[in-house]
Copies of this chain bind each other. A is one copy, B any other.
Amino acid sequence: MAYKSRLQGLGILVLCVLLSPTMTAAQQPMLNLIPVPAHLQTGSGSLRVDPSFSVALTGYAEPRLDRAVDRFLQQLARQTALPLTMKPMKSPKATLVIQTEHPGKEIQEVGENESYVLEVSATGAKLTAPTPLGTMHGLQTFLQLVNVSPDGFAAPAVTIQDQPRFPWRGLMIDSARHFIPPGVIKRNLDGMEAVKMNVFHWHISDNQGFRIESKKFPKLHELGSDGLYYTQEEIRDVIAYARDRGIRVVPEFDMPGHSTAWFVGHPELASGKGPYEIERRWGIFDAAMDPTSERVYKLLDDFISEMAKTFPDRFFHIGGDEVNGKEWDANPKIQAYMKAHGIKNGQGLQAYFSGRVQKLVVKHGKVVVGWDEVLVPGVPKDIVIQSWRGQASLAQAAKQGYRGILSNGYYLDLGWPAARHYAVDPMSGDATNLAPEEKQHILGGESCMWAEYVNPENVDSRIWPRNAAIAERLWSPEDVRDPTSMYARLDFISARLEWLGLTHKMYYRKMLQRIAGPSSPEEFAALRTLTDVMEPVKDYTREQTAPAEPTSATPMNRVVDAVPLESDAGRHFGELVDQYVAGTCRDASLADQLRGQLAVWRDNDQRLQPLAQRSFLVKEVAARSQDLSALAAAGLAALDAIAKGQPASDSWKSQQLAKMEQAKKPKAQLLLIPAPGTQKLVEAAAAGGACFAAKP
Contact call B32/A518, Cβ cutoff below 8 A: yes
Name the residue of chain B whose CB is nearest to the CB of A495.
B513
**Least CB distance, A359 to chain B, in whole angstroms:** 42
* Chain B residues near A517 (CB-CB < 8 A): 147-149
The CA of A495 and the CA of B527, in the complex, are separated in Å by 16
Contact yes or no, B81 A614, CB < 8 A: no
- A618 contacts which chain B residues (CB < 8 A)? 148
A603-643 CB mask vs B (1 if < 8 Å, else 0) is 00000000001111111000000000000000000000000
Copy number in the complex reads 2
Contact B80 A148, beta carbon cutoff 8 Å = no
A54 to B148: give the CA distance in the assembly, Å.
52
A13 within 8 A of B: no
Give the residues in chain B near A261, CB-CB below 8 Å.
none
A115-123, A243-251, A323-331, A549-557 - interface stretch: A549-557
Is A514's CB under 8 angstroms from B557's CB? no
Q: Which residue of B lies closest to A496 (CB)?
A: B513
Q: Is A72 an interface residue (CB 8 A)?
A: no
B82 with A555: CB separation less than 8 A: yes
- B572 with A521: CB separation less than 8 A: yes
Let me know if B615 and A148 touch, CB within 8 A: yes
Nearest-neighbour CB distance to chain B for A501, whole angstroms, equals 11
Q: Which of B51, B152, B499, B557 contacts A510 (CB 8 A)?
A: B499
Smallest Cβ-Cβ distance to A84: which chain B residue: B555
Given known pairs A514-B81, A521-B568, the reply for A150 and B615 (CB within 8 Å) is yes
**A515 within 8 Å of B (CB atoms):** yes
Instruction: Give the shortest distance, in Å, between A278 (CB) and chain B (any CB).
Output: 14
- Does any Cβ of B come within 8 Å of A109's Cβ? no
- Check: A492 CB closer than 8 A to any chain B CB: yes
Q: Is A79 an interface residue (CB 8 A)?
A: yes
Interface digits, A128-159 against B, CB 8 Å rule (1 contact, 0 not)?
A: 00000000000000000001111110000000
A103 in contact (CB, < 8 A): no
Name the interface residues of A533-563: CB closer than 8 Å to any CB of B: 553, 555-557, 561
Given A491-B521, A521-B491, also A80-B514 (CB < 8 A)? yes
Interface residue? A506 (CB, 8 A): yes
Contact of A149 among B515, B561, B616 (CB under 8 A): B616
Q: How far is the CA of A141 from the CA of B495 in the complex (A)?
A: 36
Check A492/B518 contact, CB under 8 A, given A80-B555, A148-B614: yes
Asked if A578 lies at the interface with its beta carbon under 8 angstroms from chain B, I say no
Interchain CB contact under 8 A, B616 and A151: yes
A59 contacts partner chain B, Cβ-Cβ < 8 Å = no
Least distance between A525 CB and chain B CB atoms (Å)? 12
User: Are the CB atoms of A615 and B32 closer together than 8 Å?
Assistant: no
B555–A614 touching, CB < 8 Å:
no
- Assess whether A498 is interfacial by the CB under 8 Å rule: yes
A28 nearest CB across to chain B (Å) = 15
Chain B residue contacts of A553, Cβ below 8 A: 51, 83
In the complex, chain B residues whose CB is within 8 Å of the CB of A506: 506, 509
* B82/A557 in contact, CB under 8 A: yes
B-chain residues with CB within 8 Å of residue A514 when the two chains form the complex: 79-81, 148
Q: Is A457 an interface residue (CB 8 A)?
A: yes
CA distance A81 to B555 in the complex (A): 6
A516 at the interface (CB under 8 A from B): yes
A590 CB to nearest chain B CB (Å): 14
CB distance from A271 to the nearest CB of B (A): 31
Closest to A557 in B: B81
A245, B478: Cα distance in complex, Å: 57
What separation, in Å, do the CA atoms of A115 and B506 have in the docked complex? 36
Contact with B along A559-574 (1 / 0, CB 8 A): 0010000001000100
Q: With a 10 A CB-CB cut-off, give which of A80, A148, A491 has the most chain B CB atoms.
A: A148
Quick check: A148 and B81 within 8 Å, CB to CB? Answer: no
- Beta-carbon contact of A147 and B557 below 8 Å: no
Ordered by A's residue number, 10 sampled pairs between the chains whose C-beta atoms are within 8 Å are A79-B514, A81-B555, A81-B557, A147-B517, A148-B514, A148-B517, A149-B517, A492-B518, A498-B513, A506-B506
- Extra contacts, 10 of them, besides A81-B514, A148-B515 (Cβ < 8 A), are A51-B553, A81-B457, A81-B556, A147-B517, A148-B618, A149-B614, A149-B616, A150-B613, A498-B510, A521-B568
